[in-house]
Amino acid sequence: MGIGSRRTLSLTAAQPECPLSNVAELTIALAWGVIAALRSHLALDLQIKWPNDLVAQGQKLGGLLLQTRSFSPQVQVVVAGLGLNVNNSVPEMGINLSTLMHQPLDLTQVAAWVLQGLEQGYSIWQQSGLTSIQAEINSWLMYRQQVLPSSPWGAVKIEGITASGSLQILTSQGVRTVNPGHLHLGYLSADPDLGITTLYSQKCFGD
């Protein structure tokens, strides 16, 4: 892929003043910020795949990964790493911005938009968590209101995210809340020999 094709950024937030359990909220808030910025500047229909993927046309555009450092019950430092496909070649089930825009993009300009989005997402999260952006996140949520045929609970429907960043699914026994790390939502395969990849797989059991 090489330099000049794929944009990778890492940012450090010192003293975010939150318990470790709130990091899921921050991950989604930052993803929202990046998606909001790119949608605004590029007029693209982009989505969020819970909990941390950036998606376009059902394919992976990028992703966020947060690492934390804590010396007490409170998180002291958060490092946010973002990978974004811009002009680089991508594997199956991936897509880049240049394909979506039908032309190469300037990486410096894209980085400026992304940083703007990360700053906005972080600022809003510090002020009010996900409360003020929860509805918009859900409107951009990949697989929302879709039925996934296979899970430990049978067929389930994705309802949306909660204010704490968890995922709500509707099972035959009612609504269940799933925390990040307990569930992996995959992608649809374009390879006819593979068919549809597993959309829903349980990584570890728990509420």
What tens-digit pLDDT sequence spans the chain (207 residues)?
A: 333 455 566 666 655 666 666 788 999 999 999 999 999 999 999 999 999 999 999 999 999 988 877 666 676 677 888 999 999 999 888 999 999 999 999 999 999 999 999 999 999 999 999 999 999 999 999 999 998 877 777 888 999 999 999 999 999 999 999 988 777 788 876 554 543 344 444 433 333
Q: What is the pTM of this model?
A: 0.83
Find out whether 20 and 70 touch, Cβ atoms under 8 Å.
Answer: yes
CA–CA separation, 160 and 140 (whole Å): 10
**Looking at residue 168, what is its pLDDT?**
95
CA–CA separation, 67 and 167 (whole Å): 21
CA–CA separation, 56 and 96 (whole Å): 9
